[in-house]
Every structure is written in C-alpha cells, then in structure tokens.
Amino acid sequence: MRLYLLCCVLLLSACGPDPLVVMAPPLQVPADLLRGCAGWTGPVPRNEGQWADAAWAEMRGRYCANGRIETIAEILNPSGPR
C-alpha cells in the first residue's frame, strides 16, 4: 500500500504549471548606427581632381558604413563571430 501512495504522489508532482522561461530583452541598437553613411554627394565629376575627390568621399563612406556594421554586429553578438 505504501508503494501505491508513493507512486500517486510522484505522479501528482508531475502535474503542474510549466516551468517559467526567462527570456532576455531584445538588444537595443542606437539609432545613429542605423543611418546611412554619405559618399560622394557633389555634381558629376568632370576632371581628374573631381574624380579623386569623389573616390576619396566614396571610400570614407564605405569605411564609415563598414564600421557601423561591425559595431552593430558586436552589439547583437557580444560573444564574437562564430
């Protein structure tokens, strides 16, 4: 009879609410990192000097964008790349 009572108690202990699942809040990415980086915004280049200025501006814009992407990746994946 004791074994029967013990089995009933064990079965009843399995009946109950599901365990609480703790979820981390979503990570916040600053709004300034979500804006685009400006490249060349001037008129169409006509000579070599303007072409050099345009290329330099585009390079700075791409470095800016890549830096922002790396920063966002560090925020969203703090453990590092997989």
- The Cα 18–Cα 44 span in angstroms is 65
Q: Taking residues 54-67, what's their average pLDDT? A: 96
Q: What percent of the chain has pLDDT over 90?
A: 50
pLDDT of residue 27: 85
- The Cα 72–Cα 53 span in angstroms is 29
Rounded to two decimals, what is the model's pTM? 0.60
pLDDT at 80 over 70: no
pLDDT of residue 81: 57
